[in-house]
């Protein structure tokens, strides 16, 4: 039966993107034809936006995109930007604290946050308005009523909120998502249902983007490599902080204008948004690539947060405690501020961390960075805080490719031992504004039959001075041949087989080249491309298989 093929025209013709665009335009055209807005949509936009355009949101999009393209080098390396120096490692590294909220870990990361900004920022800006909203007020009647001033206020507030998420997020975070959640928080308070619709609109934007970028995708079942669970990639504390900051700002504007949403709409919208954005994913890193998800705790916090936001924004002004004249709204907003402060203060001890550059067996130094490979060493960043909660602890060891910088308070396992073993190769990019260098890490090894692997890890800096960073201990091959044990062990220059008979070494040989045969201890070692077999009197047993490298 022949394979199914699609004829999509000449290679130079972007048939698939054209198909997606035509589908979007056709659908939108039909909707406009049926709705017949006759300019109503434009008038609605121009009632709040100067020339009907959310200029503040556009300035924000351009600014965040520009940081990724030029400061992080995303223009030259779109999928491998410079990341490490821009994380919020410590208060003793203020450059990272300031840049972390506006930089990103990769193309997918920045794209997701730009889509979130495109979805929620215009709603927040619409609620803010380029024109004064008070009855009888006129544009340009004062500096506060000047549309150009009000346009500029929006990105200025965005920058301030970004700095707050950098200062008070539990490090080492990176990304604009804290501000995106602030946009959403402001929008929820102003237009709850519209915000939920925008949340669905993000999925539409994502579909169109992916359809344009990858119109056809082929997937194949396979053994698959190591990957951390998706929920472990969520900076839940930073997202919650951004959301609460946005809610507080939105509540302030709503109070000033005496325009608050109904409690039911706000509660439903908040629950839907928080669940959809996975703010329920409360987790703990146990070390060794293991994570613990506290789903029940997260579900409880979701509904508690929705109730708190609803009460703070929509509670009445009736007296709650007569003797001190405490009103319901004051109590609710005070509680919301207290929760926001508690979430913020929790980051302070974490962000006071310092690290030291302890000597490693072998490493590569690039300016103030040290790149090395080590196993079962203390994670200086996580273990700096002695915390035990729900049976979990921060006293952790780590294994893998490690980047250390005492000046920048950096200690990060950038590639885990498991991931390097699966891929066989990794690239570590370090640098700073205006410069970057790449250190290539290679792992070569052999999987012993019936036992663990033996391997070596090499560091390859850009100057070409390749050096051995780590070699594992010898391991015993499980099958015995003619009563003899076989050990395989790494050396500085090769991997060796050692043949042992009655606790005596009777032969040693290096792993032969592909297609070659060698004899040691009365056993014949034969190598194919990826495997080594031992032959003895008509018996042939595979004793080792080469790892991916």
Q: Please tell me what DSSP assigns to residue 21.
A: H
**What are the pLDDT digits (tens) for 233-291?**
788 899 999 999 999 999 999 988 888 899 999 999 999 999 999 998 888 776 666 78
- Measured between alpha carbons, how far is 426 from 458 in angstroms, rounded to an integer? 11
Other C-beta atoms closer than 10 Å to the C-beta of 271 total: 18
Backbone angles phi, psi at 522, to 5 degrees: 80, 10
**Domain map (residue ranges) of the chain:** 15-81+89-214+232-350, 363-468, 473-546
Per-residue pLDDT of the chain (549 residues; tens, 9 = 90+): 444 455 555 666 677 778 888 888 888 888 878 877 777 778 888 888 888 899 999 999 999 999 999 999 999 999 999 999 999 999 999 999 999 999 999 999 999 999 999 999 999 999 999 988 777 677 777 788 889 999 999 999 999 999 999 999 987 899 999 999 999 999 999 999 999 999 998 888 888 888 887 787 776 555 555 567 777 778 889 999 999 999 999 999 998 888 889 999 999 999 999 999 999 888 877 666 678 888 899 899 999 999 999 999 987 776 666 566 677 778 888 999 999 999 999 888 888 877 776 767 788 889 999 999 999 888 877 645 555 555 555 557 889 999 999 899 999 999 989 899 989 999 999 999 999 999 999 999 999 999 999 999 999 998 778 899 999 999 999 988 888 999 999 998 899 999 999 888 999 999 999 989 999 988 999 999 899 999 888 788 999 999 976
The residue written with tokens 């990794």 in the block is 426
Contacts of 437 (CB under 8 A, 6+ apart): 366, 429, 430, 431, 461, 462
Partners of 270 in the β-ladder: none
Please list, residue by residue across 140-177, b when 16 or more beta carbons sit within 10 angstroms of its beta carbon and e when fewer do.
eeeeeebbeebbeebbebbeebbbbbbbbbbbbbbbbb
For 148, the enclosing helix (H) or strand (E) is: helix 147-168
CA-nearest of 184, 183, 278, 297 to 233 is 278
pLDDT score recorded for residue 219 = 61
Radius of gyration, alpha carbons of the chain: 30
């Amino acid at each position: 039966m022949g394979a199914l093929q699609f004829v999509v025209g000449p290679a130079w013709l972007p048939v698939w993107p054209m198909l997606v665009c035509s589908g979007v335009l056709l659908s939108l055209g039909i909707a406009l034809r049926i709705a017949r807005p006759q300019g109503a949509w434009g008038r609605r936009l121009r009632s709040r936006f100067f020339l009907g355009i959310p200029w503040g949101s556009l300035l924000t999009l351009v600014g965040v995109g520009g940081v990724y393209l030029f400061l992080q080098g995303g223009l030259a390396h779109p999928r491998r930007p410079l990341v490490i120096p821009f994380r919020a490692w410590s208060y003793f590294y203020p450059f990272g604290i300031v840049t972390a909220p506006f930089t990103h870990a990769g193309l997918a990361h920045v794209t997701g946050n730009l889509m979130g900004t495109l979805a929620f920022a215009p709603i927040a800006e619409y609620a803010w308005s380029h024109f004064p909203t008070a009855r009888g007020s006129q544009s340009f009647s004062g500096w506060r009523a000047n549309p150009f001033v009000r346009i500029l206020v929006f990105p200025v507030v965005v920058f301030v909120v970004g700095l707050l998420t950098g200062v008070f997020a539990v490090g080492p975070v990176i990304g604009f998502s804290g501000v995106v959640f602030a946009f959403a928080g402001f929008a929820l308070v102003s237009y709850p249902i519209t915000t939920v619709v925008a949340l669905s609109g993000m999925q539409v934007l994502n579909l169109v983007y992916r359809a344009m970028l990858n119109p056809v995708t082929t997937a194949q079942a396979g053994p698959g490599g190591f990957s951390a669970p998706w929920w472990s990639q969520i900076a839940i504390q930073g997202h919650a902080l951004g959301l609460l900051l946005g809610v507080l700002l939105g509540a302030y504007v709503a109070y000033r204008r005496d325009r608050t949403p109904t409690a039911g709409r706000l509660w439903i919208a908040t629950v839907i948004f928080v669940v959809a954005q996975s703010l329920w994913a409360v987790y703990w890193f146990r070390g060794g690539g293991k994570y613990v998800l506290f789903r029940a705790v997260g579900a409880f916090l979701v509904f508690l947060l929705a109730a708190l936001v609803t009460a703070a924004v929509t509670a009445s002004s009736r007296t709650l405690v007569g003797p001190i004249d405490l009103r319901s709204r004051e109590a609710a907003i005070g509680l919301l501020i207290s929760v926001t402060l508690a979430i913020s203060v929790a980051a302070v001890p974490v962000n006071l961390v310092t690290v030291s550059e302890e000597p490693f067996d072998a490493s590569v130094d690039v300016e103030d960075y040290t790149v090395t490979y080590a196993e079962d060493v203390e994670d200086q960043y996580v273990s700096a805080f002695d915390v035990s909660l729900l049976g979990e602890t921060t006293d952790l060891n780590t294994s893998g490719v490690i980047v250390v910088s005492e000046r920048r308070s950096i200690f990060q396992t950038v590639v885990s031992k498991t991931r390097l073993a699966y891929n066989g190769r990794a690239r570590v990019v370090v640098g700073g504004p205006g410069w970057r260098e790449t250190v290539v890490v290679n792992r070569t090894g052999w999987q012993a039959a019936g036992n663990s692997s033996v391997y070596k890890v090499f560091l390859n800096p850009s100057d070409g001075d390749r050096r051995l960073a780590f070699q594992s201990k010898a391991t015993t091959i499980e099958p015995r041949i003619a009563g003899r044990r076989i050990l395989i062990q790494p050396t500085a220059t090769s991997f060796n087989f050692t043949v042992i008979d009655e606790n005596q070494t009777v032969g040693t040989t290096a792993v032969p080249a592909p297609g070659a045969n060698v004899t040691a201890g009365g056993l014949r070692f034969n190598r194919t491309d990826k495997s080594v077999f031992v032959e003895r009197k008509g018996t042939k047993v595979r004793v080792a298989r080469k790892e991916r490298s």
